[in-house]
Amino acid sequence: MAELPSATLCAWFERVWNDADEATIDALYAETAVAHGLPSHPLPGPEGFKPFYRSFRAAFPDIHIEVTHCVAEGDLAVVRCRVTGTHTGDGLGVAATNRSVDFTGMTMARVVEGRILEGWNSYDFMGMYQQLGLQPPAAADVS
């Protein structure tokens, strides 16, 4: 029996982000997958997603993403998340502020046969930057 889309999406946050298991990106993010709504989007395939992942994990080595709600229908799953961490690295392109962040967001993903094919993200990155005392990069500066 195929894994439910909600189980795949929850495993993504637990293994990729909380367990810092980069190999899970290759296992759960399809070669043709695309992530929308993140800095530097769209992020095509595992090799397109990994630079964003590495940058964010470098900025917040202690990042924790708690899935607080999950809804699924057919091949779609939606999770609401609480993101916490401390900015102790320079992965955002600025010196570490050593400030903590606590913000929320949501991801909706289309999952087929246990792999994410497309994801739409809506996270409070503005709130994150405000908590760090930083200005978000201009749209033209986001690569």
Residue 141: pLDDT band (50, 70, 90) is: very low
Give per-residue pLDDT as tens, 115-125. 999 999 999 99
Distance CA(16)–CA(96), nearest Å, equals 22
Distance CA(42)–CA(46), nearest Å, equals 12
Residue 139: pLDDT band (50, 70, 90) is: low
The CA-CA-CA angle for residues 28, 55, 96, to 5°, reads 145
- Cβ neighbors of 130 (< 8 A, separation 6 or more) are none
Residue 68: pLDDT band (50, 70, 90) is: very high
Distance CA(35)–CA(50), nearest Å, equals 11
pLDDT score for 138: 65
pLDDT score for 136: 76
**What integer best gives the mean pLDDT of the chain?**
92
Distance CA(46)–CA(93), nearest Å, equals 22
Enumerate domains of the chain plus CATH numbers: 5-135 (3.10.450.50)
Neighbours of 12 (CB within 10 A): 24
Give per-residue pLDDT as tens, 40-60. 778 799 999 999 999 999 999
| Residues above pLDDT 90, as percent of the chain | 82
Measure the CA dihedral 84/62/79/142, to 10°. 90
pLDDT score for 39: 81
